[in-house]
Amino acid sequence: MIEIGVETDSAVFSAAVQSLSLAEGRAELTLTQIAAPAKLAQHAIAFAADVADEHISEHSDAGTGRFVLLHDDKPNEQWGSNYRIVAFAKSPLETLIGADEMISDVAWAWLMEALHNRGAKFTNEAGTTTRIISSGYGMLSNQSDHAELEMRLSWSPEGDFARHLEAWQDLICMMSGYPLLPSQVSPLRIRKH
């Protein structure tokens, strides 16, 4: 369970926050509640997640992300709902993977897979995937090329909000090199001699 603190005069949004508090956190991530952006909706709650320092290794990268649950008392026509999730996820990539145009499609498929794997029902999904390849020049010319993948996403959740928060965490983990596993399964760790 996640500790959440939010003040609201909406019983409906309070129930949604209670649902979020039942989400399981991924062991690879540090998940914290952050200040929600103002003026996007009548009610909002936000979280940040980062790959925990002790989980960063030569086989994984320091992924990060933000998750915001928005609620308006009246249905929003663009959302097709009273609720909207706005999310962000970013992770470094190997340069060759970042150069592959197909990684954008793969990343979108990771989101869909994470949502379906968690049983998170949704509508009106939208998003962008951005591949960034950076090369250093001048005083930075000794740096090797590096790549990043960024996803800006939104969808209208239906049902159990905890499943959506868990799926978003799974997306960050997949982008950072961790497998998508059911919560009761632990990945095998190979020992180095």
**Residue 93, in any domain of the structure:** yes
Give dist(CA 128, CA 154) in Å, integer.
9
Half-sphere exposure of 62 (CA within 13 A, CB side): 3
Range of the domain at 80: 11-175
Give dist(CA 101, CA 10) in Å, integer.
44
Count of structural domains, the chain: 1
pTM of the predicted protein model: 0.85
> Which stretches of 30-102 are DSSP H helices?
95-99
- For residue range 93-121, list pLDDT tens digits in order: 877 777 778 888 999 999 999 999 999 99
Cβ partners under 8 Å of residue 149, min gap 6: 90, 91, 93, 98, 103, 107, 129, 130, 131, 132, 175
With a cut of 70, say whether residue 190 has pLDDT above it: no
| pLDDT interval class at 181 (50, 70, 90) | low
**Residue 184, in any domain of the structure:** no
Average pLDDT, the chain: 86
Beta strand 81-93 with 121-134: parallel, antiparallel or unpaired? unpaired
**Residue 128, in any domain of the structure:** yes
48-62, 65-79, 116-130: least confidently modelled range = 48-62
What is the predicted pLDDT for the residue at 159?
84
Give dist(CA 67, CA 171) in Å, integer.
11
Give dist(CA 120, CA 50) in Å, integer.
22
Q: State the average pLDDT over residues 134-147.
A: 86
**Residue 170, in any domain of the structure:** yes
What is the predicted pLDDT for the residue at 128?
96
**Residue 21, in any domain of the structure:** yes
**Residue 187, in any domain of the structure:** no
**Residue 17, in any domain of the structure:** yes
**Residue 183, in any domain of the structure:** no
With a cut of 80, say whether residue 12 has pLDDT above it: yes
